[in-house]
Every structure is written in structure tokens, then in C-alpha cells.
Amino acid sequence: MVVKSNKDKLMKQALMGKVAPPVMAASGRSTYVTTWDGKPKIGIGVGGIKYNVKMGDPCLGWPETEYMTPGVALYGADEKAEYDRRSASGSGTAFTKLSCIGNKVTVVGGDAKGSKGVVTGKGGVGGTSRHILSHFPRDVLKKLNIGDKMRVASKGVGLKVEGFDGRLFNMAPSFLEALEPELDGDVLELPVAKEIPVIAMGMGVGGSSAESGGWCVQVSPPHLVEMLGLGDLRFGDLVACKDALMSYGKGYYKGAVTVGVVTTGESQVAGQGPSVMAIAASKHGKIKSRVDATANVAKYLELEG
């Protein structure tokens, strides 16, 4: 059955952000993070503008990276590069929580003024937790600079599907419609590239609501990747996390299903890995997976290849 949503009743408003600078994964003055097997690693890839990494690309195998964010990372216009959760601005928090996949982005300052992009996801844990991820065409990337201001046309918070026994997050109505969801009774069917058991979920348990932050899929030691078939995981893949509930927090719940988007790259720190941002969750398992290896944000947003 074709789904009916409350899209016509949702608030639409402008949010102001800016291009975030690159920051190191290591905290304080440390240069390195320590991998699960005790090796030093620089840990690059958080924030900034990526010229050659975008949604749809592999999220594993990039040298020296930790939690790499694809495309262009944005944060609130009033935020500072050095992040302290205790001093996060109210406007920055709103920018993070209210931006949704599929929201349009307009450059309002700098050499690329007037150019258009789109929100593709949100960061997950650590230094990526306040980042909104966006995609711009190649010719626009060359003109963008760190600090350029961006306006996001926010719409999607409060999105509901009539008859669905669960919650939706972080999606513009247009993105939900692109997924071609189907409703069978009170069960919502969504496409996913992979199904992931809760035993693979690591860093991020507990934490904040689904509107910000993520939950990591562990990818170390390496045999775990092979066992779970994660070697071809891509930025932007939709995944179904089984017995995992990301709603007002993130944790184990028998029978629950959460569908999310892989938004950041791998981590080789013990218990950590690519971050999954929730887009739909049901405590009572009222989500059915439609497994499709091509289920990726790049496909549904028709991003430049």
C-alpha cells in the first residue's frame, strides 16, 4: 500500500551553517589515536571539504583515516572549531538536530555564492557529532572555502507515516518518498543494502536521541568484517540494525529494528567503526527490510556520480 505522510503539516524554516574545518580525531594535543591492536594512527578525515570522497564511495580502506566524513561537512554558523559539548551553542544544536537528508543547501557567501547542494546525512560520535554532511557538484567544490556560509531549508522533523507503529527521523519527506516505502498493515517496508546484527554495534550505545549522533558498526578485528560481510560497505548505504533501537537513546532491544544510513568512515579503535544515523525505528519490529545492494543515499538523491 502506498504510504500517507503528514508532509503538508511539517514546518519548513531556514537554518544557517558554515563549512567546517578539518579537525583531528585524536583529542587534546595528541597526534595519534591507538588502534585495537596497539598501533599509532594519525586519524584524519573529520570535517572539511573532500574532493574525492562522496556518498556511494567505499567507507573502508582509506589510509590513516578515522571517522572520515564524505563530501562537505557543515556545522552551525556560531560554532567554533574546537568543540566542547558543555559550550555548544543553542543555534549549533538546532542546526544539527533540525537538518534532514534531502534538505536543500544554498551557499550564501564566498566564491560559490548562489550554488546549490543537498544534505546527505549527519556525523556520528566524537568530533563528527555536530557535523551535517552535504553534497555539491564537482565544479562547486573547487570554489568552496572553509567558513563559507550555507543556508539549509529545513523540513522533516516530525515526519510520520499514517498507520506505522514506529518513528521516523532525519529525513525530508522527498527522501522518504524516493525510498518507495510500502505499508503492510502497520509494518513499513524499506530498502536496505545490508542487515546488521546488534552484536556488531559498538561505540555510541546510550547517548543522545536519534536526531543527533550515531551508533558505530564495529570493524575490528578484521575477521569481524569478513564474518559480517561488511567489506563492501559504502558511505550512504541504508542498513537494517536488528535488535537495535535508536530512538530516545541507542541500545539493545529484543525484536526491535532500526534502519539507518552509514554516514562516516571506519575506525580502527577497539569497539568503534562506521557510524549509522537512524532514519526509522520500531521497538516492536514493525519494519521489514527490502534487501537491495544498491540502496544508497547517492541513488535516492540522484547525486552526481
49 φψ region: left (φ > 0), alpha (ψ -120 to 50), beta (else): beta
On whether the CB atoms of residues 281 and 259 are closer than 8 A, the answer is yes
Is the pTM value of this prediction over 0.75? yes
Per-residue pLDDT at 305 exceeds 70: no
DSSP designation for 151 = E
On whether the CB atoms of residues 260 and 278 are closer than 8 A, the answer is yes
Of 276, 218, 272, 217, which Cα lies nearest the Cα of 246? 276
Alpha-carbon gap, residue 290 to 134, rounded angstroms:
26
C-alpha 104, offset from chain centre: 16
Q: What pLDDT shows up at residue 223?
A: 87
Question: 3-class DSSP state for residue 128?
Answer: helix
Alpha-carbon gap, residue 90 to 113, rounded angstroms:
26
Bridge partners, residue 133, by sequence: 73, 121
List pLDDT tens digits, range 259-275. 999 999 999 999 899 99
Q: What pLDDT shows up at residue 159?
A: 97
List pLDDT tens digits, range 196-212. 999 999 988 887 888 88
CATH number for the region 167-299 comes to 2.102.30.10
pLDDT mean across residues, the chain: 92
First CA to last CA across the chain, in angstroms?
32
Q: Which of 7-21, 50-64, 74-88, 154-168 has the lowest mean pLDDT?
A: 74-88
List pLDDT tens digits, range 156-207. 999 999 999 899 999 999 999 999 999 999 999 999 999 999 999 998 888 7
Q: Once rounded to an integer, what is the mean pLDDT over residues 26-46?
A: 85
- Phi, psi dihedrals of residue 160, rounded to the nearest 5°: -135, 150
Find where cell 537538518 sits. Answer: 99
For residues 160 and 221, the model is more confident at: 160
On whether the CB atoms of residues 275 and 261 are closer than 8 A, the answer is no
222-231 in b/e form (b: 16+ CB < 10 A) is eeebeebebe
**Most distant CA atoms of the chain, gap in Å:** 55
173: part of which helix (H) or strand (E)?
A: helix 173-178
Question: 3-class DSSP state for residue 70?
Answer: coil
Domain boundaries, the chain: 7-154, 167-299
CATH fold label, 7-154: Thrombin, subunit H (2.40.10)
Alpha-carbon gap, residue 304 to 301, rounded angstroms:
9
Q: Which of 27-31, 102-106, 216-220 has the lowest mean pLDDT?
A: 27-31
Q: What pLDDT shows up at residue 27?
A: 66
Per-residue pLDDT at 83 exceeds 60: no
Half-sphere CA count of 150, side-chain side, radius 13 A: 33
Per-residue pLDDT at 87 exceeds 70: no
136-169 in b/e form (b: 16+ CB < 10 A) is beeebbeebeeebbbbbbbbbbebebeebebbbb
Q: What pLDDT shows up at residue 130?
A: 85
| Helix residue ranges per DSSP H, 72-171 | 90-98, 138-141
